Amino acid sequence: MAMNAVVLFEISIVIFVLFHLGLIAGLPWGKAAMGGKFPGVYPPKMRVAAFVNILILTLQGGIVAVRAGILLPE
């Protein structure tokens, strides 16, 4: 049961990272991010923030994967 939660979490992380990559690439998804404060294409400063979010999400996903024994098993 716990492994199912880890897999679901990791899939969620991948989806969020792909979403942020789309924002960085200039897709008009701004209305779905940050409460819709930047509708349409993200401005350059927010693209940098999206990149930082990708780094944080990747770190979180890596930590969970290591703790669950999926990544770098003993």
Q: In this predicted model, what pLDDT tens digit does every residue of 22-73 receive, in sequence order?
A: 999 999 999 999 999 999 999 999 999 999 999 999 999 999 999 999 988 8
pLDDT of residue 74: 76
- Give 4 or 18, the one with higher predicted confidence: 18
Please state the domain extents for the chain.
Answer: 2-68
6 pLDDT tier (thresholds 50, 70, 90) = very high
Cα 47–Cα 22–Cα 49 angle in degrees, nearest 5: 20
pLDDT at 1 over 70: no
The radius of gyration of the chain's CA atoms, rounded to the nearest angstrom, is: 15
